[in-house]
Chain A
Amino acid sequence: MIIQRVSSNSNFISWAGSILLLALFSYLGWVDYQQMQTMAAIQKWAVAYLVSELLLLLLLSDMQRVTRQLMSRLRYEQEAKQQQQAAESKQHQHALSILNNIAASFSPDWHQQMRDALHVASDYLQLPIAILSNIEKNNYQVIVQYTVDNSLQDGANFDLGETYCSITMQSKQVIAIDHMHASEYASHPCYNNFKLESYIGVQVLVEGSPYGTVNFSSTEARQRPFSQLEIEFISLLARWIGSVLERRRYLDAQVEVAQRLKKVSAQLPGMVYQFKLTPDGKASFPYSSDGIKEIYHLTPEQVLNDASAVFDLTHPDDVLLVKSTISESAKRLSKWIIEYRIKYPDGEVAWVAGRAVPEKQPDSSILWHGFITDITERKQIEKLKDEFVSSVSHELRTPLTSIAGAIGLLHGKVLGVLPEKAAEMVGMAMANVQKLQILINDLLDMDKLVAGKMQFDMQTQPLLPILQKSVLDNKNYAEQFKVHYNLSDKIDDIWVNVDSLRLQQVMTNLLSNAAKFSPPNAEVDIVIEHDSDKVTVKVIDHGIGINDNFKPLIFSQFSQADSSDSKIKGGTGLGLAISKQLITRMNGDIGFESSLNHGAEFYIRLPVAIETAQQSEAFYD
């Protein structure tokens, strides 16, 4: 284009110049001819014109030639540049593809993965020594290396000051040195020690903090300087290594957590697990510790996706219970706590206790985190204990019956009148035998209540006769303390649904306590109040009252306000604990109001059985 324009311009100049020259010389010739009037003048100017024309044409053609040469050189240079660009871009692509291969490579052994990466990068950079280092304080440790001649080992340590990386660690940039001897670092100890002429390296950052360096070096100087591309390459490589190390740390931490859980759970006497129930009813154990081998004789893998093996092993009599409690726990998101049996294929049966906390998942499935432990031994011991308590109580009662009987006969003067002192001793023995009887009865009751084995014979019946009988039964006891019971008989005919013997037991407790803690000649009032659905029986004494410190403990087992009480007042400290259990089991509640030195007011509140009462009234009509 440029050349064409140059040639068309020169053509135009040659034509225009020629015409101008022709006009100029024609005019000069004609003026000369007017003066001289000879042909010689015209010839002279014609020759001058021809010469000028020739010079003009020569000049123009030379100019054209020079321009052409210039242009073609320009074009050549342009092509060369394009070629170089293409080559560079090819190199760029090559570098990127190497980086990409490095990044995409995966090896479970990350050291090997790093070594492969260093190998590829070392080939690309044409530097035979490649190192990934970890630098802490002044120690330079080779984490992974690739050397063409195997001159270096993983794990080798150097003093940081002895390596070029002491320079790299001070810079955030890539340090690239083509020819060490000619550089400002010629006096560096590393050059003296290792004679490394070329070096390229950069810091590796892990989670934002310096980890070490990735660096490549050679004992030979570079023939051409490090290109911008090579500098970018190593910078990208360092970032990739940093991210691999980060991921590694994260995975290591996870593996450590998993191993910790495994180690800790292996020490537990049972199985730790997660149990999952999806909305479509599919059950599985996303996690179970090795303890499942002991509990269910199954492996965690066997129940990972399907929990049915576990349900198949559950004792046929307990499967329904297990399933219904799970549904209940899922519905209310309440803790799952249960004891059930496992029946193994060989027919052996084990007792286990399970407990788990449910958690609703975003996909509406429920995930329980829990623990199951073998309690077969505990169940056996419990059974032994039950048998022990029952046999001991029987064994104790038999001699106690004869002791109580014998002393009772002596005390009753059936076998003659005893001397005064002897009678006193017999009285004391009798009081203690009674205490012993109460103690054994209380122990047996508590044991039955705690085990949930106490049976209640619930009958709808009038309340007043039960109270009257209780008062009558305790009258003798109260007389010991010179205390008088005052039961108001002006009460309506209220019916309650209770076990009369158990209610009497509770009343005996309240009445005897009231007598025990009353001053001599005091009255204990038994007051009945009721509304449409509850009846309250109050036992009010005018004794010492209850200490504030003791109030929270009053219904707990083996509690007595004063530890010397048992010596002075008698009792096991079980009475109120038993009473509370009994009243609760009869759907009522028990409580008290008291301030020190102003007596105590114990009450029991029971639901009124109105309808039955009305029917019964009709019956009595």
Chain B
Amino acid sequence: MTDLQRIMHVEDDPSIQQVAKIALEAVGGFTVHTCSCGQQALEDYPNVAPQLILLDVMMPGMDGPTTLQHLQQKYDLAKVPVVFMTAKVQSNEVASYKKLGGADVVVKPFDPMTLSDQIRQIWTDFQR
């Protein structure tokens, strides 16, 4: 099983971008490439070649699910788990995000100290 190293984080809020980057890089030891919108994610994807994408649901312009749709149309995401990030959700909503092609959902506000473990767990589950 390959270790998770490169994560692409798509998030419009600069503060959350920064917090997530530190949480994932300083605590988890990952490399994070941050995109500020769905369009940028589509453009940067080939250069970054992320192993996992962390995708915010609510974004101005192109929202998370739409970004995922475009990514799937353009690239082969079979081996790249996409994790949605969203506000407190109900269990049936989680199911609907999974149906959209998400590997899992991370609830906002997230705990920066355990976020990396959570992501690593999702990665491990996805590899099985």
Contact = CB atoms under 8 A, between A and B. Distances in A.
Interface of A: 393-394, 397-402, 404-406, 408-409, 411-412, 414-415, 437, 441, 444, 454-455, 457, 499-501
Interface stretch (B31-39, B76-84, B110-118): B110-118
29 contacts: A393-B87, A394-B87, A398-B13, A401-B15, A401-B16, A402-B13, A402-B18, A404-B109, A404-B112, A405-B15, A405-B20, A405-B112, A406-B112, A408-B111, A408-B113, A409-B22, A409-B26, A409-B27, A409-B112, A414-B27, A414-B113, A415-B26, A437-B109, A444-B88, A454-B90, A455-B90, A457-B90, A499-B90, A499-B91
**Candidate in A399, A406, A455 with the most chain B CB atoms within 10 angstroms:** A406
Interface string B90-127: 11100000000000000011111100000000000000
Nearest to A408: B112
A402 B19 contact: yes
Nearest to B19: A405
Contacts of A414: 22-23, 26-27, 112-113
Contact of A412 (B88, B91, B110, B113): B113
A133 B91 CA distance: 87
Contacts of A454: 90
A399 B15 contact: yes
B91 A501 contact: yes
B22 A402 contact: no
B19 A406 contact: yes
B71 interface: no
B109 A415 contact: no
B92 A455 contact: yes
Interface string B54-78: 0000100000000000000000000
**Candidate in A408, A455, A457 with the most chain B CB atoms within 10 angstroms:** A408
A142 B73 CA distance: 101
A429 to B, nearest CB: 14
Nearest to B92: A457
Nearest to B14: A402
A412 B111 CA distance: 10
Nearest to A414: B26
Interface residues of B, number: 22
Given A404-B112, A405-B15, A409-B112, 10 more contacts: A394-B87, A400-B109, A402-B15, A402-B18, A405-B112, A406-B112, A408-B112, A414-B22, A414-B112, A455-B92
A412 B112 contact: yes
A146 B27 CA distance: 112
Contacts of A441: 88
User: SS class of chain A's interface: helix, strand, loop or mixed?
Assistant: helix
Contacts of A499: 90-91
A457 B96 CA distance: 12
A402 B90 CA distance: 22
B109 A501 contact: no
Interface in B3-32: 13, 15-16, 18-20, 22-23, 26-27
**Candidate in B15, B18, B20 with the most chain A CB atoms within 10 angstroms:** B15
A401 B108 contact: yes
Contacts of A394: 58, 87
A456 B20 CA distance: 31
A404 B23 CA distance: 12
Interface string B30-51: 0000000000000000000000
A402 B22 CA distance: 11
Given A409-B23, A409-B112, A437-B109, A402 B16 contact: yes
Contacts of B26: 409, 414-415
Contacts of A437: 109
A455 B94 CA distance: 13
**Candidate in A399, A402, A501 with the most chain B CB atoms within 10 angstroms:** A402
Contact of A397 (B23, B91, B109, B111): B109
**Candidate in B18, B58, B109 with the most chain A CB atoms within 10 angstroms:** B109
Nearest to B18: A402
B63 to A, nearest CB: 13
Contacts of B20: 405
Contacts of B112: 404-406, 408-409, 412, 414
Nearest to B113: A412
3 nearest CB pairs, A to B: A405-B19, A402-B15, A401-B109
A114 B80 CA distance: 103
Given A401-B19, A409-B19, A409-B26, A457 B13 contact: no
Contact of B109 (A405, A457, A500): A405
B94 to A, nearest CB: 9
**Candidate in B13, B20, B112 with the most chain A CB atoms within 10 angstroms:** B112
Nearest to A397: B87
A457 B15 contact: no
Contact of A405 (B16, B87, B88): B16
A272 B33 CA distance: 66
Contacts of A404: 109, 111-112
B108 A397 contact: yes
